[in-house]
Amino acid sequence: MKLIQKTLVAAATTLVMLAATPALADVTIGVSLALTGPGSGLGIPMNNQFKLFPKTIAGEKINLIILDDATDPGKGVNNARRFVTEDKVDLIIGSCITTTSAAMAPVTLEAKTVQLSAAPVGVPPGQDAWLFRLPQGFAVMAHPIVEHMKKSGVKTIGFLGYTDAYGELWLKEIIKQGEAAGIKVVATERFARPDTSVTPQALKLSAANPDAILVVASGSGAAMPHKAIVERGYKGKIYQTHAAATPDLVRIGGKDVEGSYVVSGPAVIAEQLPDNHPSKALAVDFVAGYEKLMGPNTRNQFAGHSYDAAIVLEKVLPVALKKARPGTPEFRAALRDAIEGMGRTVFSHGVMNWTKDDHWGYTNETGVLLKVAGGKFVVEK
């Protein structure tokens, strides 16, 4: 009888101890990427890098749920709703497409769930309380383009870009910074992401004959407008944005993109960075891991954002776990607070310093201007 009593007491004590210990729970992350459709050249490399994502961080198992949004804002919204209602995720990463990421933002705001956008998305003031951008902002990336234009004597610019938010935000920024530098946008043409030809637009821009043309497109879709301009006989300088800093531009563009300029984060030209560049070690590590997995010369700007997402989590999860357990509103709020307070953090794509009032974070030193030479990206001196 005494033995039974002792056993019951021991069992009760164990239960009390277990109740006093926080239950272990996976950290669940929902990822929405363009794995099909015209934006797949951005989403697929990100998905490849997620194969190297840490399995555990701060002692917690990381559970990734990756869905295809097919480059479709509507599907991105459906993915976001599933993440917050069915999967009860702690954090969302995506999308890699600006319009899709923007469409997801109201869902993540309402659900009070952090969204790490893999696109440089702009939303109305006050609606980015839970939205943080992994890519560099438009102002930061326009800066090296405009500086290079100034040094090269460019006075007039033609613009050929998407009709969506990515194109619109780039147009506003290049007009703003261009005017401040004495450079004027003299011709503006737009096209939709699914378009397969921009011949009329290219003809108008060639006829305007600006000193330089800025093409605003992404992934494999950036080669088509570039080639169209060259095929219409344009001989001036052509610049591309950071969404075009992928191997697809060179692979599809071929000789037509030779000599053109592309702004990028530092990750894709890791070995060319000076030894004192803060991102060099991480950029080299990213490239080494990715190309071991995918093969030589497969590095990609967007894959770097997946790499940097892991850096964010490795820094903020230990902080958030001190306040709450995964799977709770308190934990999601603790993640947001930790991101806003994580301070200066080196990424493969530059130095980030998110704050409560700044969810972009990067500085003007971040953007690197590349030149296409010999079928490769090289740092423009």
pLDDT digits (tens, 9 = 90+) for 222-261: 999 999 999 999 999 999 998 898 888 999 999 999 999 9
Residue with tokens 């019951």: 8
CA distance 317 to 294: 29
pLDDT value of residue 210: 98
**pLDDT greater than 50 at residue 316:** yes
Per residue in 47-100, pLDDT tens?
A: 999 999 999 999 999 999 999 999 999 999 999 999 999 999 999 999 999 999
Mean pLDDT of the region 175-200: 96
Mean pLDDT of the region 167-172: 94
- Residue 354, classified by CB atoms within 10 Å of its CB into exposed (0-12), middle (13-18) or buried (19+), is buried
- Distances from the Cα of 16 to the Cα of 10, 174, 323, angstroms: 10, 63, 21
Q: What percent of the chain has pLDDT over 90?
A: 77
pLDDT value of residue 38: 87
Residues sharing a CB contact under 8 Å with residue 89, sequence separation 6 or more, in sequence order: 28, 29, 30, 65, 83, 113
- The count of other CB atoms within 10 Å of the CB of residue 364 is 13
Pair of tokens at residue 145: 């383009």
Residue 24 pLDDT level (bands cut at 50, 70, 90): low
Pair of tokens at residue 42: 């951005």
CA distance 309 to 32: 14
Contact at 8 Å (CB) between 2 and 300? no
Q: Which of 9-13, 26-30, 103-107, 129-133 has the lowest mean pLDDT?
A: 9-13
Ordered domains of the chain (ranges, CATH):
27-136+291-352 (3.40.50.2300), 138-264 (3.40.50.2300)
Mean pLDDT of the region 193-198: 93
Q: How high does pLDDT run on average in the chain?
A: 91
Mean pLDDT of the region 103-115: 98
Residue with tokens 């990067």: 362
SS (H, E, C) 161-223: EECCHHHHHHHHHHHHHHHHCCCEEEEEEEECCCCCCCHHHHHHHHHHCCCEEEEECCHHHHH
More confident residue, 23 or 115: 115
